[in-house]
A and B are shown apart, each in its own frame.
Chain A
Amino acid sequence: MSLVPYKEIHQNEYAEEAAQRFTFIRLGSGTAELHGPCPRCGHAIRVPVVDGVYKTFWPRRRNSAGPTPPSGNVRTEDVICTCQEEHPGRQEGQFGCGAFWSLEITTS
Chain B
Amino acid sequence: MQPDLTQELLELVRLAATDLPDDVEAALRAARDREDEGSVARSVLDTILRNVEMARANSTPICQDTGVPIFYVDMPQGWSMREMRRQIEAAVAEATKRVYLRPNAVNPITGKNTGNNIGDEYFPTVHFHEVDGDTVTVRLMLKGGGSENVSTQYKLPDSRLHAGRDLEGVYKVVMDAIYQAQGKGCAPGFIAVGIGGDRGSSYYAAKESLWRRLDEENPDPALAELEHRITEDANKLGIGPMGLGGKTTVVATRIKAVHRLPACYFVSIAYMCWAYRRHMMIYRNGKAEYK
**A and B interact physically:** no
